[in-house]
């Protein structure tokens, strides 16, 4: 028997989650059956969508049952294998429990090429968040040279890549981020022409005026990551035939900010002939190869920048997740669960 530590959902939060909604447990992992492998987690990803899985509400991802382990994308090392496709020492990417050890049947698990980038990058710029930014900009918003794009959560795992890809195709990039330091990074590292601090703006009207100044020709594309005050501020600035890629709305995940009334926005969608399209990255999995073919060489050449916030150890995961929801992360929020076999 191998002892694993894992973090389970202790209770469902009604509003903002807290430490009381998580519990650290130990459990024995059973001996491996045919077709199974045992992995040790190295890097674990924390992502805003996990807030949705803590709730019982119907969504695109099934709720986690109370008492069951939280789940995450993670990079792991195979320690023992009775699976024909994986051998001890392989480094893999997959979905695993928030745990230090796990048993997997290999479903949805992919072997990683260890030479392309630091292993942690497979959870950020080369992983689900980076792919989300690429899908949203290319397939949903269809951003074009010469257009103006607003990117909210502009320094986050998704937004920081959207800014860089938009800049590379000669769009005017207006980032929106929380705080002066993040805004400075959006301009210096991610190619934003301007970055507006939504936390410093007292209300949506002020932020909207700042957007109008930063986008004298109006906004053609809004890459929507947050909802809330930022959405309210951007909507009136949308040009005719503008596009909104609805990727996320973190301001509302825990019910903190009430959504603005729909009718005014609904009217704008008509009068400005906006195309508003929600998307979920997993629906676009067939494009992941095309994304990697474009991004991996850029990452290898050092042409893409990213930032990571690393929490140390499995026990630190709940606090790091709560901090992510409040904007405490700078770039991709990770948890280092065990030693990185590549030694970074
Ligand atoms: N549709 C999909 O398939 C898909 C896939 C991945 C992610 N997403 C969504 O994309 C968004 C970004 O995800 P990510 O992984 O890149 O996270 P992230 O941007 O790295 O981290 C979340 C950020 O959201 C911002 N934030 C938190 N509360 C806010 C509020 N009330 N108002 C404005 N901003 C707030 C904070 O940045 P500031 O400090 O700058 O405010 C925080 O750092 C999330 O909404 C997520 O759910 C969607």
* Contact assessment for residue 238 and residue 268, using Cβ atoms and an 8 Å cutoff: yes
Listed residue (141, 214, 151, 203) closest to 177, CA to CA? 151
Which CATH number characterizes residue 242's domain? 3.40.50.720
Q: 225: Cβ below 6 Å to ligand 1?
A: yes
pLDDT (tens digit per residue) in 55-84: 998 888 889 999 999 999 999 999 999 999
Residue 58 is predicted with a pLDDT of 82
Kindly state whether residues 275 and 251 are assigned to the same domain: yes
Instruction: Give the confidence band of 264 by pLDDT, cuts at 50, 70, 90.
Output: confident
Ligand 1 contact, 81 CB (< 6 A): no
Q: Residue 61: its pLDDT value, please? A: 84
* pLDDT score at 1: 77
Q: Whose CA is nearest to atom 33 of ligand 1?
A: 226
Residue given tokens 């609904």 in the structure block: 266
Please calculate the CA angle 339-42-292 and round it to the nearest 5 degrees.
125
Q: With a 6 A CB cut-off, is 73 part of the ligand 1 pocket?
A: no
Range 137-156 average pLDDT: 98
Residues 106 and 192 in one domain: no
CA of 206 to the centre of ligand 1 (A): 21
Looking up tokens 């926005």 gives 265
Question: Within 13 Å, how many C-alpha atoms sit on residue 11's CB side?
Answer: 9
pLDDT-derived band at 261 (thresholds 50, 70, 90) equals low
On whether both 139 and 258 belong to a single domain, the answer is yes
Tokens of 176: 């929106």
For residues 273 and 160, membership in a common domain is answered with yes
CB 125 within 8 A of CB 159: no
Reported as type and span, the H/E element at residue 289 is helix 288-300
Q: What is the DSSP letter of 106?
A: -
Question: Are 139 and 27 part of one and the same domain?
Answer: no
For the Cβ of 201 lying below 6 angstroms from any atom of ligand 1, the answer is no
In a domain, 189, yes or no: yes
pLDDT digits (tens, 9 = 90+) for 38-61: 999 999 999 999 999 999 988 888
Q: CA angle, corner 164, sides to 160 and 167, nearest 5?
A: 135
Which ligand 1 atom minimizes the distance to the CA of 247? Answer: 1
Average pLDDT, the chain: 95
Q: What does the pLDDT read at residue 260?
A: 64
Average pLDDT over residues 268-286: 95
**Ligand 1 atom at shortest distance from the alpha carbon of 279:** 1
Amino acid 290: pLDDT: 98
Q: Do 200 and 330 share a domain, yes or no?
A: no
Instruction: Let me know whether 173 and 54 are in one domain.
Output: no
Could you give the CA distance from residue 294 to residue 135 in angstroms, rounded to a whole number? 12
CATH of the domain at 46: 3.90.180.10
DSSP three-state, residue 96: strand
In a domain, residue 100? The reply is yes
Q: How far is the CA of 180 from the centre of ligand 1 (A)?
A: 17
Which of 199, 203, 248 for a ligand 1 pocket mutation test, highest count of atoms within 8 Å of Cβ?
248
Question: How far apart (Å, rounded) are the C-alpha atoms in residues 51 and 48?
Answer: 6
Output Rg (C-alpha) for the chain, integer angstroms: 20
DSSP H or E run through 166:
helix 159-168
* 59 belongs to a structural domain: yes
Phi–psi pair at 321, nearest 5 degrees: -65, -45
Give the angle 110-111-113 at the CA atoms, nearest 5°: 130
How many angstroms is it from 225 CA to the middle of ligand 1?
5
Which tens digit of pLDDT belongs to each residue from 108-133? 999 998 888 999 999 999 999 999 99
Mean pLDDT over 89-101 rounds to 97
Q: How confident is the model at residue 103 (pLDDT cuts 50, 70, 90)?
A: very high
Check residue 116 and give its pLDDT: 85
The answer on 57 and 202 residing in a single domain is no
What's the start-to-end Cα distance of the chain, in Å? 30
Domain check: are 111 and 233 in the same one? no
Tell me the C-alpha distance between 209 and 29, whole Å: 57
Rounded to the nearest angstrom, the distance between the alpha carbon of 308 and the centre of ligand 1 is 14
The answer on pLDDT for 330 being more than 60 is yes
The yes-or-no verdict on residue 257 having pLDDT over 70 is no
**Interval 183-187 mean pLDDT:** 98
Please tell me the total count of domains within the chain: 2
Counting residues of the chain whose pLDDT is more than 70, the rounded percentage is 97
Nearest-CA residue for ligand 1 atom 38 is 178
Could you tell me if residue 240 is inside a domain?
A: yes
Please, are residues 277 and 303 in contact by the beta-carbon 8 Å criterion? no
Which of 1-5, 230-234, 334-338 is predicted with the least confidence, judged by mean pLDDT? 1-5
> Does 344 have pLDDT greater than 60?
no
Distance 3 CA to ligand 1 centre (A): 34
Asked which of 153-162, 194-203, 251-260 is least confident by mean pLDDT, the reply is 251-260
Residues 190, 229 within the same domain? yes
264 close to 198: Cβ distance less than 8 angstroms: no
- 294 domain residue, yes or no: no
CB 226 near ligand 1, within 6 Å: yes
Q: Is residue 343 part of a domain?
A: no
Same domain, 113 and 134: no
User: Does residue 177 line the site of ligand 1, with CB under 6 A?
Assistant: yes
Q: Is the CB of 196 under 6 A from ligand 1?
A: no
Domain range for 166: 128-282
Identify whether 85 is part of a domain.
yes
Whether 76 and 193 share a structural domain:
no
| Ligand 1 center from residue 202 Cα (angstroms) | 20
Please tell me the predicted confidence (pLDDT) of residue 128.
Answer: 98
Q: How many C-beta atoms lie closer than 10 Å to residue 231's C-beta?
A: 23
Query: Ligand 1 in contact with 232 (CB < 6 A)?
Result: no
């Amino acid at each position: 028997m191998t002892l694993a530590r894992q973090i389970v959902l202790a209770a469902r939060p009604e509003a903002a989650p807290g430490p009381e909604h998580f519990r650290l447990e130990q459990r024995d992992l059973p001996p491996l059956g045919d077709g199974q492998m045992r992995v040790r987690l190295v890097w674990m990803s924390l992502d805003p969508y996990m807030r949705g899985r803590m709730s019982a509400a119907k969504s695109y991802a099934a709720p986690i049952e109370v008492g069951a382990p939280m789940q995450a994308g993670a990079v792991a090392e195979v320690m023992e294998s009775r699976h024909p496709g994986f051998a001890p020492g392989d480094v893999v990417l997959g979905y695993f429990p928030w745990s230090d050890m796990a048993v997997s049947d290999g479903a949805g698990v992919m072997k990683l090429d260890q030479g392309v980038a630091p292993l942690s990058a497979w959870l950020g710029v080369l992983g689900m968040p980076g792919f989300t930014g690429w899908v949203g900009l290319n397939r949903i918003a269809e951003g074009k040279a010469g257009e103006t794009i607003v990117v909210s959560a502009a320094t986050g795992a998704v937004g920081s890549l959207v800014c860089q890809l938009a800049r590379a195709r000669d769009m005017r990039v207006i980032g929106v981020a929380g705080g002066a330091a993040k805004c400075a990074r959006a301009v210096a590292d991610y190619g934003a022409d301007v970055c507006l601090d939504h936390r410093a703006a007292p209300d949506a009207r002020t932020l909207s005026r700042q957007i109008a100044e930063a986008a004298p020709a109006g906004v053609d594309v809004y890459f929507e990551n947050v909802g809330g005050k930022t959405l309210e501020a951007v909507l009136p600035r949308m040009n005719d035939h503008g596009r909104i890629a609805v990727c996320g709305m973190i301001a509302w995940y825990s019910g903190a900010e009430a959504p603005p009334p729909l009718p005014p926005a609904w009217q704008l969608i008509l009068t400005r002939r906006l195309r508003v399209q929600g998307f979920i990255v997993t629906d676009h999995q067939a494009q992941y190869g095309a994304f990697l073919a474009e991004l991996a060489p850029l990452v290898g050449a050092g042409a893409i920048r990213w930032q990571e916030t690393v929490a140390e150890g499995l026990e630190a995961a709940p606090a790091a997740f709560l901090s992510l929801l409040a904007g405490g992360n700078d770039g991709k929020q990770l948890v280092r669960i065990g030693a990185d076999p590549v030694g970074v």
